[in-house]
């Protein structure tokens, strides 16, 4: 199956101050979005493996602009999500967002092993979604529990699926709830 991409976008947010304190390193969050035509529109399909099998190529295509936007900093956390138009099913986004979709992002990052948080739902155009994010090294790095809220004003239309992958260059600004640090997670992975 070949997925029909209708449009893509890359959203970049940089945060320099939090709670009145300047960040030692700005927090850059990037979301790359692909709006595709839903091939299973308005009907139940038992076998969704064609979506799963088509998703790595889409992931590879989306990873390029995402990594370009993160190039000045590198990547320390990630998350993924999907919005399905009202004529589709939530399961359509879940089939597209499996591990094989995310592997091109992991390959581009070069060392991302941790489980990737995700969120999917069926929505009308313009419905916000919170994409949860966690550390690429270890899901238990508390400073990197974060997210990115997105609202796509004209998507997804009833016959579309919006796939989203988010990246960040660091944990939250002023994170101070303890637990494993990012550096400890990197060392643990190397040992």
Q: Which residues touch 119 (CB under 8 Å, ≥6 apart)?
A: 79, 81, 82, 129, 130, 131, 132
pLDDT score of 79 more than 80: yes
pLDDT score of 173 more than 80: yes
Question: In angstroms, rounded to a whole number, what is the distance separating the alpha carbons of residues 86 and 90?
Answer: 9
pLDDT score of 188 more than 90: no
Per residue, what are the HEC states of 102-169? Answer: HHHHHHHHCCCCCCCCEEEEECCCCCCEEEEEEECCCCCCHHHCEEEEECCCCCCCCCEEEEEEEEEC
DSSP secondary structure code for residue 42 in this structure:
T
Report how far apart, in Å, the C-alpha atoms of 73 and of each of 14, 31, 111, 169, 181 are. Answer: 11, 15, 15, 6, 18
Report how far apart, in Å, the C-alpha atoms of 77 and of each of 3, 94, 138, 143 are. Answer: 27, 20, 10, 10
pLDDT score of 2 more than 80: yes
Question: In angstroms, rounded to a whole number, what is the distance separating the alpha carbons of residues 86 and 88?
Answer: 5
Q: Are 29 and 147 in contact (CB under 8 A)?
A: no
Question: In angstroms, rounded to a whole number, what is the distance separating the alpha carbons of residues 132 and 38?
Answer: 24
What is the pLDDT confidence band of residue 1, given thresholds at 50, 70 and 90? confident
- The percentage of the chain sitting over the pLDDT mark of 70, rounded to a whole number, equals 100
Q: Which residues touch 55 (CB under 8 Å, ≥6 apart)?
A: 3, 95, 96, 97, 98, 100, 101
Per-residue pLDDT tens digits for 108-140: 999 778 899 999 999 999 999 999 999 999 999
pLDDT score of 189 more than 90: no
Q: What is the CA radius of gyration of the chain?
A: 17
Q: Which domains does the chain have, with CATH numbers?
A: 5-190 (3.30.1330.110)
């Amino acid at each position: 199956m070949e997925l029909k991409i209708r449009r893509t976008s890359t959203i970049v947010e940089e945060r320099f101050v939090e709670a009145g304190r300047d960040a030692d390193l700005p927090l850059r969050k990037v979301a790359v979005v692909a709006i595709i035509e839903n091939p299973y529109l308005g009907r139940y399909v038992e076998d969704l493996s064609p979506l799963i099998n088509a998703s790595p190529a889409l992931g590879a295509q989306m990873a390029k602009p995402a990594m370009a936007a993160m190039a000045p900093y590198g990547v320390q956390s990630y998350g993924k999500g999907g919005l399905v138009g009202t004529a589709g099913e939530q399961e359509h986004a879940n089939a597209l967002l499996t591990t094989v979709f995310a592997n091109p992002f992991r390959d581009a990052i070069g060392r991302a092993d941790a489980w990737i948080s995700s969120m999917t739902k069926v929505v009308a155009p313009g419905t916000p979604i919170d994409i949860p994010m966690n550390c690429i090294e270890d899901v238990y790095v508390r400073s990197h529990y974060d997210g990115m809220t997105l609202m796509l004003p004209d998507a997804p239309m009833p016959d579309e699926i919006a796939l989203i992958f988010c990246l960040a260059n660091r944990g939250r600004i002023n994170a101070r709830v303890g637990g494993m640090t990012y550096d400890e997670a990197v060392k643990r992975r190397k040992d």
